[in-house]
Amino acid sequence: MIPKIIHFCWLSNDEFPPLIAKAMATWKEVLPDYEFVHWDTNKFDLESNTWVKQAFETKKYAFAADYIRLYAVYNYGGIYLDTDVEVLKSFNDLIERPYIAGAEIEGVIEAGVFGAEKHTPWVKQCLDYYEGKTFINSDGSYNTLTLPRIMMQQITQTHTVKELPPEQITVNDQIQNKDTLYLFPKDYFCAKNHGTGQLENTKNTYTIHHFAMSWVSKNHTFLPNLKRKLMAILGVGLINNLIKVLGLKKIRQSMSKK
């Protein structure tokens, strides 16, 4: 059984932006019987892990939080939430399971919402990725492989991943089929299209991940946000085709200058 603990990371000294404050307000409203554990530099010893220390010191807080969320869930059990996750309904009907996880896109885990019992093996397997690794590479660049890719890379070494709704997965299925990781469909924990920014929640939705990218500067979020707005207005296919055309044009222009 998963303990009623919500883990979250906020490593900077900045105040919560409005979207994040609004999302987090839903936690205590919907989950009044849960304990909330704030992981910051007082809670996690930066000197204990080189990856986290380097990511923190370069102000790449999201990458530091990638390790800390796995550490928290593995060592204490509970549910991890990104701070931009809005909670719509309680997890109480899910916590008798040994773990809960969902898809961000088909076949890829949602790393912003997941939970497990203490010392769950697949969580440790994900944590092991960071063993002996540094965030700053030898050439000075950063190791910015995203957490969903890391988790899938680690998990699929020993597990088959199956995406099924909870009514088709019993607690015993999860306990007995140790070589299978079951993911709930995207609308359970993600429920927002990362590309278009459009909400896709259903009657099944427990949480909405808003992908606020609060750790990224406004200069770097301008184009992704513009892309989402145009996709919402003109459609995904048209904008993707336009990007391909413009991309090819840019390549031709750069080639002609050589």
- Residue 175 to residue 26: CA distance in whole angstroms: 31
* 43, 52, 148, 118: CA torsion to nearest 10: -40
Picking from 226, 4, 154, the residue whose alpha carbon sits closest to that of residue 93 is 4
Structure-token pair, residue 185: 């469909």
Altogether, the residues listed in the chain come to a count of 258
CATH (residue range 5-215):
3.90.550
Task: Sketch the domain layout of the chain as residue ranges.
Answer: 5-215, 217-257
| Residue 229 confidence (pLDDT) | 44
Which residues are paired to 50 by β-bridges? none
Which residue carries 């660049």 as its tokens?
A: 141
Helices 236-256 & 218-234 angle (0-180, nearest 10): 130
* Per-residue pLDDT in tens (0 to 9) along the chain, 258 residues: 999 999 999 998 889 999 999 999 999 999 999 999 999 999 999 999 999 999 999 999 999 999 999 999 999 999 999 999 999 999 999 999 999 999 998 889 999 999 999 999 999 999 999 999 999 999 999 999 999 999 999 999 999 999 999 999 999 999 999 999 999 999 999 988 777 778 889 999 999 999 875 444 444 444 444 444 444 444 445 545 665 666 544 444 443 333
| Residue 246 confidence (pLDDT) | 62
- Residue 72 to residue 7: CA distance in whole angstroms: 7
Structure-token pair, residue 156: 């699929």
Residues contacting residue 4 through CB under 8 Å, at least 6 positions apart: 31, 33, 34, 35, 78, 95
Hey, what amino acid is at 198?
Q
Hey, what amino acid is at 233?
I
